DNA sequence: CCGTATACCTCGAAAGACGAGGTATAGTAC
DNA sequence: GTACTATACCTCGTCTTTCGAGGTATACGG
């Protein structure tokens, strides 16, 4: 057993990214902040997670990227495609199923 | 994105195994059934997940194994060590933190 | 001109989930 | 006695993903 770096986090970055971008178009750095805000600092996606995830999601057709210049900087803005929204719905539903199941198991046998 | 095999499941097998074995000593097959029961069939751990996990947990000192003969069969019973219980507490707390964070994010901005 | 914040990126290591496949025994049906 | 099913354990290779560390470049305040 490693000391649990990625433990319990698989799929969570993808889910959060899709969820927050479904709300509004954002660029990477902004999205990183949004994740922290939306989770009250409970979850923070490092850049080594965020950028590869964004690229992979774009490649998979779940996100669309476009470069825009703002404040003299070039930013890459991402928005969710129709396919991305379907994926979000799938992931959210799967999350709820697993979360409920784990919750039930953690609660333990309600000594009948 | 692959088609979501292990998606959102990282750490969950370990957490469920520790949780259920903390309740009572069990052997592998029994544990597999217990996982299904405890999660109302929402989660089922395949043997390719279960046995390697049990071995790894035993190796890490979180579980203790002992072979027992019952009904003409040799079964390997596992119980949770003190260290295993500490690990369970850690994982459960981490789970709750992440689950709450994801839940919050999924709920979305409660338009102030 | 220098430090800090912004903004993007890539790499390698590590871990773990999973399906498929493999062995062997006990009990039941024919 | 033979076939089938359930029990019970195991391992292997594949695949995906998270993560920290490290790298580049620009804007801006002092």
Rg (CA), chain B: 16
- The residue ranges of every structural domain in chain A are 12-107
Mean pLDDT for the stretch of residues A54-69: 97
Say yes or no to pLDDT of A70 above 90.
no
Give per-residue pLDDT as tens, B1-59: 766 678 999 999 999 999 999 999 999 999 999 999 999 999 999 999 999 999 999 99
Q: Cβ–Cβ of A56/B103 closer than 8 Å?
A: no
Q: Identify the residue whose tokens are 């996990």.
A: B53
B112 touches A at CB < 8 Å: no
B71 touches A at CB < 8 Å: no
Q: State residue B4's pLDDT score.
A: 64
**Contact, A109 CB vs strand D, < 7 Å:** no
CA–CA dist B31, B94 (Å, integer): 23
B73-80 vs B26-27, strand pairing mode: antiparallel
A107 touches B at CB < 8 Å: no
Q: State residue A105's pLDDT score.
A: 97
Token output for A97:
């199923």
CA–CA dist B51, B25 (Å, integer): 15
Q: Cβ–Cβ of A91/B7 closer than 8 Å?
A: yes
Could you tell me what percent of chain A has a pLDDT over 70? 96
B70 touches A at CB < 8 Å: no
- pLDDT band (50, 70, 90) for residue A21: very high
Q: Cβ–Cβ of B104/A6 closer than 8 Å?
A: no
CA–CA dist A105, A52 (Å, integer): 33
Q: Which CATH class is domain A12-107?
A: mainly alpha
- pLDDT band (50, 70, 90) for residue A110: confident
Name the B residues in 15-54 with CB < 8 Å from any A CB: 15-16, 19-20, 23, 35, 38-40, 42-43
- pLDDT band (50, 70, 90) for residue B109: confident
Say yes or no to pLDDT of A112 above 60.
no
């Amino acid at each position: 057993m490693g000391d649990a770096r990625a433990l319990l986090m698989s799929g969570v970055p993808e889910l959060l990214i899709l969820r927050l971008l479904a709300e509004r178009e954002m660029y990477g750095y902004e999205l990183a902040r949004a994740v922290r805000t939306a989770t009250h600092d409970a979850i923070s996606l490092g850049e080594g997670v965020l950028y590869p995830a964004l690229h992979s999601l774009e490649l998979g057709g779940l996100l669309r990227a476009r470069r825009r210049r703002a404040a003299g900087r070039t930013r890459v803005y991402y928005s969710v495609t129709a396919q991305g929204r379907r994926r979000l719905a799938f992931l959210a539903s799967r999350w709820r199923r697993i979360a409920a199941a784990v919750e039930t198991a953690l609660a333990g046998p309600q000594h009948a």
